[in-house]
Structure 1
């Protein structure tokens, strides 16, 4: 990690040390060795056993902790007026510290559509080199993979037998097997690769901050950005709150906002960039009227089947008799970094088409070796597994707005799930496809009973279950849309329109949601953005290499 010493003036200030912020700050520090960079993070360090032990995600996502912003949405009209849970990572590494570590990139056509929609330089041929440069895949380098990047991508050390049973059941149901969703073809089912190293989570902070000491990079935790300071229309610094005190940090060159799909539009609006009527209503001076800030919110809605298996000892479960097994599992992990505690729970899954005529998969599965219900916040006695279904390219569009000028108050998140009829139709097709997999012999022969869905057969019954129980699968994007049109929030170089010295680099700039998990694409965005920003790097440039002895110690060290 870089220095933690503080000044009041830097060349660049990066706001938010999540996946994009860690990558942006590190790449910028390396590309501009004579520039000073401050990386601000509202949360704490990532040195925690809960973070570095993969199975710790069960507590980090579902429970209150210092590592989770714990947002809730506005009531969702199409989901029985429920306020749904929206966990987002807080602290170094951001959501890469609490996610399921699944490494997927989306489909090549997703990025070609970005380019066609007015984002030159962001097509698949442009972004693939940056995926490769960020990656160190244990399988080695290939046309599609890198082997020397900072982000370690591994095969799971121990795959649960039920994950393989899911894969076999899906093949029996007519779907193709696939051992690399980021290779020549995305379509099919298989075991996910994960962002782990030797059985420990490899989050963005480990990848980009802890990999080497950089004297020009200053990491400041517990620093909550209150607003961007402007000199006329130029971003000149950031007001922060730290240890109960207000401070102003000044930026000679640029301020770079990496606060995510919820935090970035909130910070822009609280700083005077957003819909003028909203800002004036809160007494915020308008720097630039930008109606697109906070619009275009997209997310993957997820429906889950849970199946309890009486007497099962192979999946994750809570029973009176399971305590000795949990002790053995923890002992194995402590000694060898193997076994259940090294699992990301969502071990298997895949990408399938609900219509053979489609050009790319429209549904993604996540198969979990536990009874995951309401993000794990609703606990069930016993053991079993879960099958998650999400629609990859929803047409529903929501918003992130503010009701307070203080960024320490939560923004108003309204995904408007299922507001477009297409999404409900696609979800129903996906749910029925999942049911066919559950009924295939490789899973059905092991018995068990579905929780809450066992007697649901008709389309109307299944959709009622979706509206009663569906939740996010944690992929919000789009609220600071990139484009070439005047209504876009940032241009293809991710400069904020209407002002100077200000960029947004994170998942909020995605014009449309990619078909897959969003962590790897968010890191790619940072890699590509810094390259366009400084113009001194290329995909063939020497990537980050971990310094000898730089890896963190055992979980919790």
Structure 2
């Protein structure tokens, strides 16, 4: 084994959701020397691990890059916070912990885009199950043959039931049924239509992030090196007869510049914002844009930073009567003390809550053959993230368009490797997205008006019943819509001849050897649900292909 501290077989950039799994898989062979680099620090901040602690991790420089979007025309000029994890575990350390794969049609579509059956649902399902440790498969659990075909046991990625119930949410679920949304007993078998409590990535009431699941078990291996608090400034390349080859990276570690080299491959796992940013800084991207910044063009790839997609949620707040919600419980010192004591002694209650508890998937209209809306329903309300709870009992029903047609971009506007990129999601920039936004608010009202919810005498506080026409509701969506932090697509995969593709079907950067991308950026289209677990599946596939390539040489 080469003991030079600057030379490795593989360099993985980004110790987030994908990077932790990637480092685990590549270092499983003791003959592979692996370096994992993370700009953020250790995940030893206590609020990372207490589920409700996401409130203290988002927009916190200790755990978050603290990006913001550019002012968005579709949001009537507003700019949004755009959290991305800057800590071991990445976004899995600060996200909503919801375990969601999406819909089978998402992956079948990807397979058609790249003309590779490896991306079909049935083949992706095997990669989801490979690292899964699902409560339904626990000894003595409630597994049956049907669920056993869809869920794995013994993997690193723990999936559990939530550890609380709310009567007001149970009744909202019954109202959703009365509105035509069926009950679901599993959102993750390829068709997630229905209403149910979300399953979460927790273990015994604690957040289960990818640093705990994949990285910590691997750190005892002598062939895996972790450099946290280390900034990658650029990738390094050499010109060969076959085109540019990625040799490694320039980094700043402990305040000193350093070069590291990869004998086999560099794997970008920096996410849908971080990976295109680093590619552009390194000379891979739209040539004209790079030349205007004085960056030497290594490879002209027009798709780098393009095709940004995200889920925009529209929050409806209903004031309720005769209901216990978190607004009331958390309004007194006695209530807060009770919440803390319950979590301390049983790991249950509001401190064990994922940000959203109840989920629902349905159609915005009969025009859609599949569910194109997702609900995140909470037994609480507030004006905006980070602000105090309202002084009255209320619930929040947030709805998002699962398959937006709007496309944005991520672009650097400086050669400074520490400067934030310009993030322009271009929300609500198409007629279809504005129509779905308006229709989705009407679906929310239909659910709230059902008999099962009538005993709460719900009053629509936000957005307000005075907004009714398509034009009013679409404009309103721009006023109140906000991201649920699912950026994807900015280094998307495609087949040969696709001028906007950045990676091929096996996630190799097109026209550049020795470099792959394995994160949410490679998605051609966004999945129909939360994006964290699909990102793990992508990394699982990529790691296997990398190891297969190594064994064939």
For this structure pair, what is the TM-score category when the shorter chain's length is used for normalisation?
over 0.9
Alpha-carbon separation, structure 1, partners of 2:433 and 2:303: 23
1:247 is aligned, of 255, 258, 262, to: 258
- Displacement of 1:405: 1.4
Matched, 1:425 2:445: no
CA contact (8 A) 1:228 1:239 kept: yes
Deviations 1:312-364 (A, max 9, x none): 543245865x2111111111211221111111130111110223463321111
Q: Taking structure 1 as reference, are residues 164 and 318 closer, same or farther at Cα in structure 2, changes over 3 Å only?
A: closer
CA contact (8 A) 2:285 2:303 kept: yes
Alpha-carbon separation, structure 2, partners of 1:64 and 1:351: 31
2:91 is aligned, of 79, 95, 117, to: 95
Matched with 2:302 is 291
Alpha-carbon separation, structure 2, partners of 1:389 and 1:378: 21
Deviations 1:52-83 (A, max 9, x none): 1001112223x433101111111111211111
CA contact (8 A) 1:319 1:382 kept: no
1:29 is aligned, of 27, 30, 35, to: 27
Q: Taking structure 1 as reference, are residues 406 and 168 closer, same or farther at Cα in structure 2, changes over 3 Å only?
A: same
Deviations 1:35-59 (A, max 9, x none): 1111111001112221110011122
Alpha-carbon separation, structure 1, partners of 2:389 and 2:324: 17
Matched, 1:462 2:473: yes
2:6 is aligned, of 5, 8, 11, to: 8
Matched, 1:143 2:180: no
CA contact (8 A) 2:330 2:336 kept: no
Alpha-carbon separation, structure 1, partners of 2:80 and 2:4: 39
Q: Taking structure 1 as reference, are residues 277 and 6 closer, same or farther at Cα in structure 2, changes over 3 Å only?
A: same
Q: TM-score w.r.t. structure 2 length?
A: 0.92
**Aligned counterparts, 1:336-375, within 5 A:** 336-356=346-366, 358-375=368-385
Alpha-carbon separation, structure 2, partners of 1:130 and 1:537: 20
Alpha-carbon separation, structure 2, partners of 1:302 and 1:210: 34
Query: Unpaired segments of 5 or more residues in structure 1?
Result: 539-557
Alpha-carbon separation, structure 2, partners of 1:241 and 1:464: 45
1:41 is aligned, of 20, 38, 41, to: 38
199-208 or 449-458: which moved more?
A: 449-458
CA contact (8 A) 1:372 1:385 kept: no
**Aligned counterparts, 1:214-363, within 5 A:** 214-232=221-239, 233-309=244-320, 313-316=324-327, 320=331, 322-356=332-366, 358-363=368-373
RMSD: 2.0
CA contact (8 A) 1:266 1:400 kept: yes
Q: Taking structure 1 as reference, are residues 85 and 184 closer, same or farther at Cα in structure 2, changes over 3 Å only?
A: closer
CA contact (8 A) 1:11 1:254 kept: yes
CA contact (8 A) 1:374 1:469 kept: no
SS of structure 1 residue aligned to 2:418: coil
Q: Taking structure 1 as reference, are residues 378 and 265 closer, same or farther at Cα in structure 2, changes over 3 Å only?
A: farther
- Displacement of 1:25: 1.0
Q: Taking structure 1 as reference, are residues 217 and 422 closer, same or farther at Cα in structure 2, changes over 3 Å only?
A: same
Q: TM-score w.r.t. structure 1 length?
A: 0.91
SS of structure 2 residue aligned to 1:482: coil
Alpha-carbon separation, structure 1, partners of 2:382 and 2:157: 27
- Displacement of 1:473: 1.1
Matched with 1:183 is 189
- Paired residues in the alignment total 531
CA contact (8 A) 1:161 1:314 kept: no
2:158 is aligned, of 122, 144, 152, to: 152
Alpha-carbon separation, structure 1, partners of 2:74 and 2:504: 33
Matched with 2:100 is 104
Q: Taking structure 1 as reference, are residues 386 and 510 closer, same or farther at Cα in structure 2, changes over 3 Å only?
A: same
Q: Taking structure 1 as reference, are residues 246 and 366 closer, same or farther at Cα in structure 2, changes over 3 Å only?
A: same
Deviations 1:197-256 (A, max 9, x none): 000100111110123422211111101111001122211111112232221111111111
- Displacement of 1:427: 1.5
Alpha-carbon separation, structure 2, partners of 1:114 and 1:237: 30
2:520 is aligned, of 507, 531, 540, to: 507
Deviations 1:388-432 (A, max 9, x none): 110011111111001111231111000111111111111111111
Alpha-carbon separation, structure 1, partners of 2:383 and 2:373: 20
177-186 or 401-410: which moved more?
A: 177-186
Alpha-carbon separation, structure 1, partners of 2:344 and 2:215: 25
CA contact (8 A) 1:51 1:201 kept: yes
Matched with 1:436 is 446
CA contact (8 A) 2:327 2:389 kept: no
Matched with 2:144 is none
Query: Unpaired segments of 5 or more residues in structure 2?
Result: 138-146
- Displacement of 1:535: 1.9
Matched, 1:82 2:95: no
449-458 or 188-197: which moved more?
A: 449-458
- Displacement of 1:447: 3.1
Matched with 2:142 is none
- Displacement of 1:170: 0.6
Alpha-carbon separation, structure 2, partners of 1:6 and 1:91: 27
